[in-house]
């Protein structure tokens, strides 16, 4: 699934577009942060939505070896909940929609 951005001429930067309908009216509903040392099987998982929860379950970490974060969006243009991840792998930082 490819990420696209709307054109922008202001200081806010580029608006992320919904991978399902192209709308840029995405609303952040939940943020998940995964912290671990390289290749550790457990680490710290922080989830923020209406509340904050923490645990050591990093099964949903988008990085196979290091740190990652995932933003979950609702969309004004369609009923889909999208997940966008930023994560480290082999010394580079990647970003992509995972759903």
| Contact with Zn ion (CB under 5 A) among 18, 58, 69, 71 | 18
Among 31, 77, 86, 88, binds Zn ion (CB under 5 A): 77
Tokens of 52: 């904050």
Strands (E), the chain: 26-35, 44-48, 52-55, 68-75, 82-89, 92-97
71 touches Zn ion (CB under 5 A): no
Q: In Å, what is the CA distance from 99 to each residue of 1, 7, 19, 60? A: 8, 23, 8, 13
Q: Is 20 an interacting residue with respect to Zn ion (CB under 5 A)?
A: yes
Q: Does 16 bind Zn ion (CB under 5 A)?
A: no
Q: Does 75 bind Zn ion (CB under 5 A)?
A: yes
Task: Confirm if 60 and 99 have CB atoms less than 8 A apart.
Answer: no
Q: Is residue 43 close enough to count as binding Zn ion by CB under 5 A?
A: no
Least distance (Å) from Zn ion to the CB of residue 70? 17
List residues binding Zn ion (CB under 5 A). 18, 20-21, 23, 75, 77-78
């Amino acid at each position: 699934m490819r990420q696209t951005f709307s054109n922008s001429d202001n200081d806010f930067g580029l608006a992320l577009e919904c991978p399902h309908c192209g709308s840029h009216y995405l609303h952040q509903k939940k943020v998940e942060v995964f912290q671990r040392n390289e290749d550790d099987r457990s680490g710290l998982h922080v989830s923020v939505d209406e509340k904050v929860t923490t645990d050591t379950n990093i099964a949903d970490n988008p990085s196979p070896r290091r740190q990652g974060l995932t933003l979950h969006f609702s969309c004004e243009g369609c009923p889909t909940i999208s997940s966008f991840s930023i994560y480290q792998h082999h010394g580079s930082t990647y970003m992509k929609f995972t759903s």
